[in-house]
Amino acid sequence: MDYLSAARERLIRAQARVTVPPRVQTAGRYGFYLGALVFASAPYWLGGIYYPDIWTDMALWGTIGLGLNVVIGFAGLLDLGYMAFYAIGGYVFANAALYHGFSLWEAMPIGAVLSVVASAIIGFPTLRVRGDYLAIMTLGFGGIVYYAAQNMTSLTGGYNGLFGWKTQSILGHPFASPIDFYPLALGLTVVAALVTRALRGSRVGRAWSCIKDDEVAAGAAGIPIIRYKLYAYMVGAVWAGLAGAIFAVKQNIVSPETFTFNQSFFAVAVVIMGGMGSITGVILGGVLYVVIAEWMVTYTGTLSGVIFSSLLLLVVLLRPQGLIPFRPRPPRWLLRHYLEDPARGTAGVSQPDG
């Protein structure tokens, strides 16, 4: 069944169900937007330094999830070494700021570019394999970056990491407290969400969807598989590199222990829990991870990771598509044209009984 046929069947089933009035749908949509706005502004009315720090981590993990969502959710590529690009962004900023006097605004584009270059170098041979082999190769890449960060002391500072750069500022306002970092991290998440949403509906996004559904059929249809896989890998690396630079500024230190395999696993878990391909769901997954793994650690100690992993298992068992699954919605004008156009053989489609 092709894309339009599936859309037609979906529309027919929707017409047979009791539909929610448009006013209720609009009210629910605006209620969701209002709730998201209130939640995003919480650090400003909660006050202190603890809550802004937690909300900044939520925004950074939302960006990480959105970048990995392009790789896993859009293109269907299992990447177990994604945090390597996060590390590249952090170490690029640390070296540029510490040894060359670069500001955050100058180092962030450099980190993003080098993350893309690294993704292209490792992705070109890696993305020619599929399934378990792809997961193993990406895991190996993450291990390479981790052990390089431990042993290349001249660039990374080894186990001690890099620290001691001057305080960053924007328009003369220094980044001195967590509330100063939050607008930057939140803005990056919003931009990542808008860009990935636009990509999902573009020609490139449709090619990714075809590759995810059936790679052999996509290749037979003329889609250059390796090229579009590489596009997904590179786009995902951009957001990890940018988020890594902001993380380094916020923490005032970059060390190898921040970029272990555990972090890559949790990044994958954020995407799976939120809903692969769903932008809102992935952001929610990042929020839940920080709430459980960072916020609740005060009350649960080392059990926070157990709680998050248990929640992930429950989601996989009870709601395998994620908390907020992605449901593609073709344009209504296209559906109407497809249903009413006699040339397509769909005129006079009877409605189901009952």
Distance CA 250, CA 104 (A): 11
- Cα end-to-end span (Å), the chain: 25
d(CA 73, CA 193): 13
What's the token pair of residue 204?
């490139």
Domain boundaries, the chain: 49-258
Q: pLDDT tens digits, the chain, 354 residues: what are they?
A: 455 565 566 555 555 554 567 777 778 778 888 888 999 898 888 877 888 889 999 999 999 999 999 999 999 898 898 999 999 999 999 999 888 888 888 899 999 999 999 999 888 888 888 777 888 888 889 999 999 999 988 888 888 888 888 877 777 777 777 788 899 999 999 999 999 999 988 889 989 999 998 888 888 888 899 999 999 999 999 999 999 999 999 888 898 888 888 888 899 999 999 999 899 999 999 999 998 887 777 666 667 778 888 888 898 898 888 888 887 766 555 556 655 554 544 433 333 333
The model carries a pTM of 0.85
Please give the Cα distance from 68 to 72 (Å, whole number): 6
Q: Residue 106 region, left (φ>0) first, then alpha (ψ -120 to 50), else beta?
A: alpha
* 236/238 Cα distance (integer angstroms): 5
Residues 6+ apart with CB under 8 A from 226: 124, 127, 128
